[in-house]
């Protein structure tokens, strides 16, 4: 179950944070997302030889914390997408698929002429698309 | 569902945009008009680069990003690539396009039937006027390139050089 998704800009400024649990733990999720930024920077600056390719956008599992898993994705424009989930058996392909669709939604939101780059994304359409993507996460694996 | 627009519509829109800013909004202040047009190009380039770098792996250095602009970005915008790329390996890149699509329809009036020493001044002023009008049209693509590069993390200044139309060179100076 996805707990939270976040978009963080290239100066580590939050552009969009949305949690999908009923519990009121927004602060904890903010903190988790913030910590994961350091891991993203570390992954990008010190590539492990056995790890993913240097220039890949999908960064994979960043780190497990408590009962959450945190996945990261870094675009060419240094915008980071963070996904926090409580699922235990998450498939790599599912997460990649999720990030691909999330990236498409993000690009559409940023192409809005009324959106100011660097400010938070306030588009309702983007929020709806994100919740659709989140709801269908993991369900396609049944095919 | 992708909606498409005829290329002639885009051409007309750009011509009208330059004409509006130069003749109506900032009628006697060409520098302000130029800055505004370049700022519009900057925002467009910023958003376009976000879209066109979607599926690609990240760039390792400045040269890779400039090559992306020359090949994929230019192909998306104009269905052709930059014809020639030169660099001095110290932060300056020259992107040369031998047949820049947005300048294709602009006529270059030679005025050769009036070559007369008494009218030399008017000839040069006419040439200067033509050159400045054409350079107004180039602020927009300069802005696009600057916006795209800044979104990829490269701060730069972009100017255009129109010494021989319809070929057009864009000089990119990366701020170290």
Chain A residue with CA closest to B45: the answer is: A111
B110 versus B162: the higher-pLDDT residue is B162
Is residue B144 a part of any domain in this protein?
A: yes
Tell me which residues of chain A, numbers 26 to 65, contact chain B at a CB-CB cutoff of 8 Å.
Answer: 53-57
Say which CATH number the domain at A93 has.
3.30.450.70
pLDDT at res. B117: 44
DSSP letter (8 states) at residue B83: S
Interface of B with A (CB under 8 A): 43, 46-47, 49-51, 53-60, 151-153
Contact A76 B47 (CB under 8 A): no
Helix, strand, coil % over all residues of chain B, rounded to 5: 55, 15, 30
pLDDT at res. B144: 94
Alpha-carbon span B119 to B116, nearest angstrom: 5
- Which residues span the domain enclosing A88? 2-142
Instruction: Judge whether residue B142 has pLDDT over 90.
Output: yes
Q: In Å, how far are A41, A70, A128, B100 from A80, measured between CA atoms?
A: 10, 12, 20, 35
Give the mean pLDDT of chain B.
Answer: 84
pLDDT at res. B116: 47
* Mean per-residue pLDDT, B123-152: 85
Of A53, A77, A117, the CB nearest to B53: A77
Is residue B115 a part of any domain in this protein?
A: no
Q: Which runs of E-coded beta strand occur in chain B? A: 84-87, 92-97, 156-161, 168-174
- How many independent structural domains does chain A possess? 1
Residue A94 backbone class (left: φ over 0; alpha: ψ -120 to 50; beta: rest): alpha
Sequence-distant contacts of B120-126: CB under 8 A, at least 24 apart: none
- How many independent structural domains does chain B possess? 1
Angle at A107 between CA A105 and CA A112, to 5 degrees: 100
pLDDT at res. B114: 44
Say which CATH number the domain at B136 has.
3.30.1380.20
Among B44, B42, B87, residue whose Cα is nearest residue B66: B87
pLDDT at res. B113: 44
Could you say which residues of chain A have pLDDT below 50? Answer: 50-51, 141-143
Angle at A80 between CA A11 and CA B66, to 5 degrees: 75
Among A18, A67, A65, A11, residue whose Cα is nearest residue A41: A11
Share of chain B above pLDDT 70, in %: 90
Is residue B120 a part of any domain in this protein?
A: no
- Which residues span the domain enclosing B100? 7-108+126-174
Instruction: Judge whether residue B135 has pLDDT over 70.
Output: yes
Instruction: Judge whether residue B126 has pLDDT over 80.
Output: no
Is residue B25 a part of any domain in this protein?
A: yes
Q: Can you read off the two tokens belonging to residue B153? A: 């993390």
* DSSP three-state, residue B111: coil
Our CA dihedral for B56, A47, A59, B144, rounded to 10 degrees, sits at: -30
What is the model's pTM?
0.84
> Which of B41, B54, B147, B154 to mutate to test binding with chain A, by most A CBs within 10 Å of its CB?
B54
Is residue B32 a part of any domain in this protein?
A: yes
Of B51, B53, B57, the CB nearest to A56: B57
pLDDT digits (tens, 9 = 90+) for B59-115: 778 888 888 888 989 998 888 999 999 998 888 999 998 888 888 877 766 554 444
End-to-end CA distance of chain B: 42
Share of chain B above pLDDT 90, in %: 24
pLDDT at res. A22: 73
Q: Is A97 on the interface with B (CB under 8 A)?
A: no
């Amino acid at each position: 179950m996805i707990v939270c998704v976040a978009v963080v800009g290239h100066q580590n400024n939050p552009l969009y944070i949305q949690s999908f649990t009923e519990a009121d733990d927004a602060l904890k999720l903010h903190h988790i997302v913030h910590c994961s930024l350091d891991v993203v920077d570390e992954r990008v600056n010190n590539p492990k030889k056995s790890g993913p390719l240097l220039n890949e956008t999908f960064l994979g599992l960043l780190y497990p914390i408590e009962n959450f898993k945190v996945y990261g994705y870094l675009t060419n424009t240094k915008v980071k997408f963070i996904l926090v989930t409580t699922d235990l058996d998450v498939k790599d392909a599912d997460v990649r698929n999720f990030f691909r669709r999330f990236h498409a939604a993000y690009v559409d939101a940023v192409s809005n002429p009324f959106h100011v780059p660097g400010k938070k994304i306030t588009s309702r359409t983007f929020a709806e698309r994100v919740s659709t993507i989140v709801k269908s996460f993991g369900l396609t694996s049944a095919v | 569902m992708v909606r498409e627009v005829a290329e002639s519509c885009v051409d007309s829109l750009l011509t009208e945009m330059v004409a509006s800013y130069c003749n109506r909004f900032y009628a006697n202040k060409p520098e302000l008009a130029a800055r505004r047009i370049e700022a519009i190009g900057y925002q467009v380039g910023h958003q376009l680069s976000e879209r066109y770098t979607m599926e690609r792996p990240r760039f390792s250095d400045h040269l890779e990003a400039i090559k992306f602009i020359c090949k994929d970005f230019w192909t998306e915008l104009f269905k052709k690539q930059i014809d020639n790329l030169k660099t001095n390996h110290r932060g300056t890149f020259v992107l040369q396009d031998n047949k820049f699509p947005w300048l294709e329809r602009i006529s270059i009036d030679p005025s050769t039937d009036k070559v007369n020493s008494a009218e030399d001044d008017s000839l040069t002023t006419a040439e200067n006027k033509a050159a400045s009008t054409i350079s107004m049209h180039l602020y927009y693509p300069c802005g696009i390139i600057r916006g795209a590069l800044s979104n990829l993390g490269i701060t730069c200044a972009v100017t255009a050089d129109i010494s021989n139309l319809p070929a057009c060179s864009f000089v990119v100076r990366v701020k170290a």
